[in-house]
Structure 1
Amino acid sequence: MVKLRPKLSVNNHVRYRRPPRYDLERLKQPDVATACAQHVEAALPDEEELDVAPLEDCCRTVKAAINNVAKDIVGYEERRRRNDCAVEDGNEPAPTLREAKDAIEQLKNNKAAGKDGIAAELIKLGPEKLATCLHRLVVRSWETEQLPEELKEGVICPFHKKGDHLE
């Protein structure tokens, strides 16, 4: 009898949807913080109710009280795409040469090179002029808000950790 290999594209893991995040920045406003505290206190059950009810019900009640107040008073923060930056005024200054040099110094050795084949050690050991050139490229990308096409590509190598790698 022939044993068929299952499809590799089938995903047996159930992914959950992340709950929306509350806009916790609003809690820094004194009137919002006070209103939230008052509403939470009013929404929570009495101690006698907590002593009588089963533990799961108590936990569910407290969680629901907090979430309902947060939803009504604090609200949700606007969902951003993963790589979007939180820029308030849009006039964020370009990185300085010192920041570029610091970033180069913080590169980790013995890591895989990118698609271009340039390892971090080569950049770290490069002359001062290399840091200046890289800084200039970053500043130009920053000002034009565009990346060169070759910097938009990357190499992803999946590593299998446990079990049969064909399953």
Structure 2
Amino acid sequence: MWLTVARMSQNWETTPKIVTAVSIKALPSVCREGLPLPGNSVYCVQVPRTDENGRQLKALLDYLLDGEIDAKDLFDALGVSSSTYYRRIKESDYPNAEELRRVADRFALSYPDLQIQFGLMSRQEVWNYVRAAESAHSAAATLQDTTTKSAVRQRSKLSELTPRLDAPPL
């Protein structure tokens, strides 16, 4: 007994006899979504800022503080909820200058160094800022010395302190 296959009616696409620019269809591959476009060095997908070595903020803090930093420590330092933190770390402008300042304050790190690491300021810009601050401070000190001499108030010794009668008890 021989098996026979019934003819199926299918519309097969005919191949072109001549290849032209119209017959070639360029379809973008799904695998290329995250890669830079040809001729561009910018990624198509938004990625958060990284430091000079390609590390994100949490990885840099793990390195600098010699240990695991929990995400809870980080979103507490930033002063945001956990859902806001996890949404924020996917955005292209994370971390911004204010977030770096909060992290630097919480973990006792150098704010200018973090800004340099994440490319928000260059080393030259930091030096210019420091020089400008020094010159402004010296100019203000010179101006204050020439106009008035402020009285220096010394702190009282503990033995000389007395309780305030108008203050409520602790």
Q: TM-score range by the shorter chain?
A: under 0.3
Give the alignment's TM-score, normalised by structure 1. 0.20
**Rg: which structure is higher?**
2
Identify the structure with bigger relative contact order (alpha carbons < 8 Å, sequence gap 6+).
1
